[in-house]
Amino acid sequence: MNIVCANCFTTNRIPDDKDYNKGKCGKCQQAVYSAKPTDLTTNTFYPFVERNDLPVIVDFWASWCGPCQSMAPTYSKVAQSSPTLLFSKVNTEQVQQIAADANIRSLPTLVFFNQGKEVDRISGALNEMQMKQWIAGCLQKIT
């Protein structure tokens, strides 16, 4: 399995018989998997979304967006309890080109990627149950 380090964004190959949750990056020696959302930039967005074998959920948000701020703790909580997924965040104020490329029209928007391809998206603040239901639906689409 390939997993991109949440710290230095180096792609690491984890043998199938090893637990990726415990793997260390070959470059920076940090834990390769992070249960907290990873902040993505212009330089790290595409490598993180395209090179990970695990599905990646991206939260497109902005600091001025009230619903984004209210949903952030829920997003982090769901990330902590979802070890088979990777969670990331894109600040649309700082990474405007990525938001434009992803055709983000409202905030917050969650986009579910699998092997670099968009599977689904949903806009608007979600509570924990809604977010988990949406994720479950996305997982059904890829199995």
Are residue 66 and residue 91 in the same domain, yes or no? yes
Residue 103 CB neighbour total at 10 angstroms: 10
CATH of the domain at 104: 3.40.30.10
Interval 26-44 mean pLDDT: 96
Identify the pLDDT of residue 126: 98
- As annotated, the active-site residues are 65, 68
- Is 1 found in the same domain as 63? no
- Is 82 in the same domain as 116? yes
Whether residue 1 is found in the same domain as residue 68 = no
Tell me the pLDDT of the chain averaged across its residues.
96
79 and 57 in a single domain? The answer is: yes
Domain around 116: 35-142
Number of domains making up the chain: 2
pLDDT (0 to 100) of residue 143: 87
